[in-house]
Amino acid sequence: MKYIPTIGIECHVQLCTKTKLFSEVDNDARGKEPNSCVSPVDYALPGMLPRLNGEAVRLAVLAGRAMNCEINAYSRFDRKHYFYPDSPKGYQITQFYHPIIGAGYVELPSGTKVRIEHAHLEGDAGKLTHFDNYSLVDLNRVDTPLIEIVSMPDIHSAKDAHDYCKELWRLMRYAGVTYGDLYNGNMRFDVNTSVAPEGSEKLGTRTEVKNLNSFKSVERAVEYEIARQTKVLESGEKVIQQTLGWSDATGKTSPQRSKEVAADYRYMPEPDLPPIRLSNEFIEAESAKLPSMPADYRKKFAAVIAGDVLEVLLDYPELMKRLDKLDEEYIKTIANLFASVLLAEEKSAEYLNDLPTVAELTELAEMNKKKELSSTATKEVFLRLFDPQMKGRGAKTIAKELGLIQENDLGALEAIVDVVLAKPETKKAQEDFRNGEEKVIGFLVGQVMRESHGKANPSVVQEILRKKLA
């Protein structure tokens, strides 16, 4: 029997606001002492009241629009109760009944559409570190603004699960709502997987793998779960609904400490925060600020940039903005240069933090077009555009300094060719060529290149040689 997997994904995105969701404390705790970014509100002293950060609301609107979602003009907060030291208030402030972001969809590169059920604003929890007989609490992350994006169960393969998470990551970064640093947990994925026999109307029992923070682990965990659950069903047993953890090291999922009773969060409307009411004007004005999205670029550049190259480049929103500003005739050249750097040179994303200007890139592409630079030289100059020591000098200056400009001047090249043809050591080759030995032309071109110290344009040289030896 064939089994069809069904996958739904919840994704937490940390918003890159300056301050926290409900207090004025610094939201960016990277590299800071534990418990140094905590206000009396975050610490949940008695008598403290949350103050909603308007910027978080604005970013939520952008995030929602990036996923083609409805933005709800009316939304409000609720309290989700649980006792754990990572939650100083004893509840998380979230949006259970009236989320800010309504239904929408994300389109994967393959064209598959994954519907978004809703997304809501909420505060993050603190962090616990466990030791042998004690645990330490760091509240720096408490009430960092999050949006939780809940997908519909529209995904049916590990590859699509991977692509969905990656596309979300791109969308959130294009919309500018998160730093998108996966290693530091800026985006985290909870993946629900079930399998059911083909043709079955009911979905199978699902498991939830929590807290994945890379696309690769999402893909591997889903692959593993599909295989595991299929095997369980094939052996006539039942899949147990449970929460699982994933280990990259073992490549396996394993049950997390199971709660004997289902958690009852005792949701209650948050009485300390008035509802959020957004005007249409606000929603429209903010939506208009959204830059081009990956889907826009796919449409726009379909004829110009090869699909696989484009998918590599799409991970870098700033890079795409740069490409978009170039003259159309140069886009392909520059896109390929970026792709070769990212793929072959294995340069990290940081390498692209400080991109060359549109003017510099245009200059480089022009030189390439005019054949002033060979393809190797073009790449060489391109790399130098990122070099801190050469930054800002421009492609032409760099090319000159490195002596990479090709000699295209016919008169000058003819003179060099004449010098080479006058040399006794080339006489034999000239004769052989005249006698029809086509491949010696390469030797002669090489001699001319040497004479020109590599600056001659080899195809022009060949043309001259052919004319002279005819």
The residues binding another protein (CB under 8 A) are: 40, 43-52, 74, 79, 81, 83, 85, 88-91, 97-98, 137, 264-275
DSSP characters over 44-71:
T-TT------HHHHHHHHHHHHHTT--B
SS3 annotation, 116-138? EEEEEEEECCCEEEECCCCEEEE
DSSP characters over 425-442:
GGHHHHHHHHTT-TTHHH
DSSP characters over 233-246:
HHTT--PPP-EEEE
For the bound state, the minimum distance from the C-beta of residue 33 to another protein, rounded and expressed in Å, comes to 17
For the bound state, the minimum distance from the C-beta of residue 98 to another protein, rounded and expressed in Å, comes to 8
Residue in the block written with tokens 């800026």: 186
Query: What φ, ψ does residue 401 adopt, rounded to 5°?
Result: -60, -40
Q: Is the dihedral of CA 17, 99, 291, 104 positive or negative?
A: positive
For the bound state, the minimum distance from the C-beta of residue 193 to another protein, rounded and expressed in Å, comes to 25
For the bound state, the minimum distance from the C-beta of residue 263 to another protein, rounded and expressed in Å, comes to 10
For the bound state, the minimum distance from the C-beta of residue 74 to another protein, rounded and expressed in Å, comes to 7
Q: How many CA atoms are closer than 13 Å to the CA of 363, on its beta-carbon side?
A: 17
Of 111 and 271, the one with the shorter C-beta distance to another protein is: 271
> How many CB atoms neighbour CB 360 within 10 A?
21
For the bound state, the minimum distance from the C-beta of residue 308 to another protein, rounded and expressed in Å, comes to 49
Of 35 and 287, the one with the shorter C-beta distance to another protein is: 35
Q: Which residues contact 389 (CB under 8 A, 6 or more apart)?
A: none
For the bound state, the minimum distance from the C-beta of residue 125 to another protein, rounded and expressed in Å, comes to 14
Q: Which residues contact 306 (CB under 8 A, 6 or more apart)?
A: none
Of 73 and 402, the one with the shorter C-beta distance to another protein is: 73
